[in-house]
C-alpha cells in the first residue's frame, strides 16, 4: 500500500508501533523488570492512554478511515482492541502493578486482540512508503 492513502501517515506509524508492542508479551515483560531502566513510555499506562487517544469518536468512527485507517476492517480490529483494553483497565484494580495487569487473563485478551489488529494493519503495509509520505506531508 502507498503511504499517501492516509491523511496522517505519522499517526499511522505511531499506531502500528503501539499495537505491535501491545501484541508482544516479551516486550511487555520489560515494563516490570527491575533490571530495566523505566520511563513513562515503558509502562502499561503509556500504551493505554495512547491507544485510547488514537481511537476515533464513538459517534463517528467511519471518519477515521483515510485518516489513520485505510479501510473499515482495520477500524473494526483496532476498535475491538480498544474495547478489550478498556474492559481490562476497567476491571483490573487501577492500583495493580504492571506485572499484575500482565498476569491477568483479561490482559492476555488484550495481547490476542492486539495480535489480530496488528496482522490486519500490516497486511500489504509498506513502512518505507508510509515514512516517506510522512516526510512529504511535513514538508508541504
Mean pLDDT by 10 residues, the chain (140 residues): 74 89 85 59 62 57 79 91 87 79 90 96 92 84
Q: What pLDDT is attached to residue 43?
A: 59
Whole-model pTM? Answer: 0.81
Residue with cell 527491575: 34
Q: What pLDDT is attached to residue 40?
A: 43
Amino acid at each position: 500500500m502507498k503511504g499517501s492513502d492516509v491523511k496522517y501517515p505519522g499517526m499511522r506509524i505511531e499506531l502500528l508501533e503501539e499495537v505491535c508492542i501491545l501484541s508482544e508479551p516479551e516486550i511487555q515483560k520489560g515494563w516490570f523488570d527491575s533490571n530495566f531502566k523505566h520511563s513513562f513510555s515503558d509502562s502499561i499506562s503509556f500504551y493505554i492512554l495512547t491507544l485510547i487517544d488514537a481511537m476515533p469518536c464513538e459517534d463517528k468512527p467511519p471518519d477515521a478511515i483515510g485518516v489513520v485507517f485505510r479501510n473499515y476492517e482495520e477500524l473494526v480490529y483496532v476498535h475491538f482492541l480498544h474495547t478489550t483494553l478498556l474492559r481490562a483497565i476497567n476491571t483490573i484494580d487501577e492500583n495493580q502493578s504492571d506485572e499484575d495487569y500482565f498476569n491477568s487473563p483479561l490482559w492476555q485478551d488484550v495481547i490476542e486482540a492486539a495480535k489480530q489488529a496488528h496482522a490486519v494493519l500490516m497486511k500489504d503495509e509498506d513502512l518505507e512508503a508510509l515514512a516517506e509520505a510522512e516526510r512529504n506531508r511535513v514538508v508541504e
